[in-house]
A and B are shown apart, each in its own frame.
Chain A
Amino acid sequence: GENVEQHPSTLSVQEGDSAVIKCTYSDSASNYFPWYKQELGKRPQLIIDIRSNVGEKKDQRIAVTLNKTAKHFSLHITETQPEDSAVYFCAACLTSGTYKYIFGTGTRLKVLA
């Protein structure tokens, strides 16, 4: 079946450095790619998303890039801060026809002060 691979599973960076999390999806029909942040003991919350007709999207210190040919998409966080420490999940979704919303296995990001 379809799956989403997410790497790395854990990532430690120094405060102020950049962090990159990568995901690869298998279903070429996927057309929507959200990223969720889950702080310890909390619910997942959307931080940024991108649709298949766009290659890159930025929101302040966060950006997402999409390479449809390679079926890769990545989350980039610049100038990391301690409050960025959380688990981040990517998802690859098919929002038309047979609905699919498949999450990656998560990346635990630790920002060291």
Chain B
Amino acid sequence: DADVTQTPRNRITKTGKRIMLECSQTKGHDRMYWYRQDPGLGLRLIYYSFDVKDINKGEISDGYSVSRQAQAKFSLSLESAIPNQTALYFCATSDNRRGETQYFGPGTRLLVL
């Protein structure tokens, strides 16, 4: 779905570095989410935001922080990256008025050395 974009698409970084993953959407949705995907573990929710002033922790928020800069933008930060944060990260959006379907971005593949 081209309406949800993520940058960068791939990133290699070193342990201890700060890194930010960005998500933008043109769908006009109020809700945004960050997930990580690991082989055999499925998708796990890191943080979610129901509007600009609302930020909530998901299942696995430790080591991550987020910022909802605008309705259309939701960023995920790793303050001090560690190797077990190597994963595929997805941003998703949903429209509170139209049900619970989540629309995913293309993903960011992160490797922490």
Contacts and interface: CB of A to CB of B under 8 A. Distances in A.
Interface of A: 1, 6, 9, 32, 34, 42-46, 49, 89, 93, 95, 99, 101-106
Interface of B: 1, 33, 40-45, 48, 50, 56, 59, 90, 100-102, 104-107
A65 B41 CA distance: 24
Contacts of B90: 43-44
**Nearest 4 CB-CB pairs, A to B?**
A43-B104, A103-B42, A103-B43, A105-B42
Contacts of B59: 1, 102
B8 to A, nearest CB: 16
Contacts of B106: 42-43
B95 to A, nearest CB: 13
B100 A89 contact: no
Contacts of A1: 59
